[in-house]
Amino acid sequence: MIRNRRTRIVATLGPASRSAEMTLALAQAGVDVFRMNFSHGSHEDHAEAYANVRAAEKAAGRPIGILADLQGPKLRLGTFTEGKVHLEKGAHFRLDRDPAPGDILRACMPHPEIFAAIKVGDDLLIDDGRVRLRVLEQGEDWVHTEVIQPGPISDRKGVNVPTAILPISAMTDKDRRDLMFALSLGVDWVALSFVQRPADMAELRKLVNGKAACLAKIEKPAALESLAEILDYCDGVMVARGDLGVELAPEDVPVAQKLILRMARERGVPTIVATQMLESMISAAAPTRAEASDVANAVYEGTDALMLSAETAAGQFPLEAVAVMSRIAERVEADPRWPGLMDAEHADPESAVPDAVSAAARTAANASKAACLVAFTATGTTALRVARERPLQPVLVLTPSIKTARKLALVWGLEARVTKDPKDVEDMASVASAMSSKVGTAKPGDRIVIVAGLPFGTKGGTNLMRIARAT
């Protein structure tokens, strides 16, 4: 089952899509990776969802990835005597650690980490930025603030501190329990929320210990300041525009998105653009024109994948949302100007044979008018290097590992299938020729460009390119 697009689609599972029937329908509609959001649902819910995806994968006849998205630390206010207050512009408001219910003059903020990190002049954002407070005075466990942006606040609303790096781990005790459970299921990707520094990703990698690929969600301005170092610890990165849009000015979010996508592509790190992609389709059967343009722009920017959140998790039209997203991606990729954009930027090859071979394969495929490229890989490294070059031909990935094939379901333009390692170079050419015809990336007689590493099964050993014909 070949999708007529290189851009991949990630769909979030939830009450609207968790059933076996709907999961299969979404897979057949073209979903490449399913996301399990551990901010919601029980372990039993996620176990059922996992089983349904694996059943759908078997029925669809192609590898499908599963992404476990950890909740991360949630900073919240305490409660209010009457459940809710309305703060007026210019009013003064105190935040402290007294657990007593709040009122119009004060509220509890039970997080010593925030008090330790903020300073006079910093802003606190309440309820996703709907209310903004500016710190006028501070003590060890209290701050006195002025209301800059008025509005209502109520029990346990979230608190964001955009200008401070909070001295907290990106992983809570709940995240650690959820991570161990997700790894026991066998998920392919793990996403870490609210990454602030490289050490957050280093901690995740240590805990995952190679059992899944690790993805950083960029939601904090602090992460942008050390993005290059964070990417060094990443197998993938998500432009998580929801919380990022709370802490950054709206006009800064598109610029941040382009920065993240460009820096990730230079390193060959797969990317996801997420949040509010087709938000109106939670309750409407068609998107707004602005949403269609937003999705299209991400495709023009060369992102590996687009993500649907509430649209498929809780929306009324999950199948329609996937279908619309798929059609938009297909239409953009059919634009005569799109190939030029993909070809305009290529990372400078590192001084290593694998990079040179991957760059040469793209050039050879164009010069020979090849129908597709075929990449043999054990761990996915060869395929990722080829995908970074953004070849315009389909890329058939052949691997002996179903785990590798599922991980690569997230990556731009890759169509992975599980095969045995070839016995020798001639067997490699024979397998590539037969599989490209069988899967549909080439017709018998078409030229194909093959890349691989000798000896077969060696990690990161891409050192061979060959041109053959499909059979």
Q: Is 331 known to be catalytic?
A: no
Catalytic residue among 76, 94, 174, 176: 76
Give me the catalytic one of 35, 62, 388, 407: 35
Q: For tokens 């100007």, what's the residue?
A: 337
Among the listed residues 7, 275, 404, 441, the single catalytic one is: 275
How far is the C-alpha of 268 from the C-alpha of 236, rounded, in Å? 9
Q: Return the H-helix or E-strand segment holding 257.
A: helix 253-267
Q: Where are the alpha helices (DSSP H) in 146-190?
A: 173-185
C-alpha–C-alpha distance, residues 175 and 186, integer Å: 16
CA–CA dist 471, 243 (Å, integer): 50
The β-bridge partners of 108 are: 96
**CA distances, 163 to each of 116, 121, 224, 262, 449 (Å):** 13, 10, 12, 24, 50
Q: Which helix (H) or strand (E) holds 194?
A: none
Say whether 217 is catalytic: yes
**Token pair in block for residue 118:** 């903020």
Cβ neighbours, 10 Å, residue 297: 15
Residue 265 is a catalytic residue: no
Catalytic residue among 8, 217, 220, 265: 217
Cβ atoms of 115 and 140 within 8 Å: the answer is: yes
Dist. CA 279–CA 287, nearest whole Å: 8
Q: Is 196 exposed, middle or buried (0-12, 13-18, 19+ CB in 10 A)?
A: buried
Exposed / middle / buried, residue 249 (Cβ in 10 Å: 0-12, 13-18, 19+): exposed
76 catalytic residue (yes or no): yes
Q: What angle do CA 433, 434, 438 make, to 5 degrees?
A: 120
Relative to beta strand 271-274, strand 236-240 is: parallel
Q: Which residues are catalytic?
A: 35, 76, 217, 275
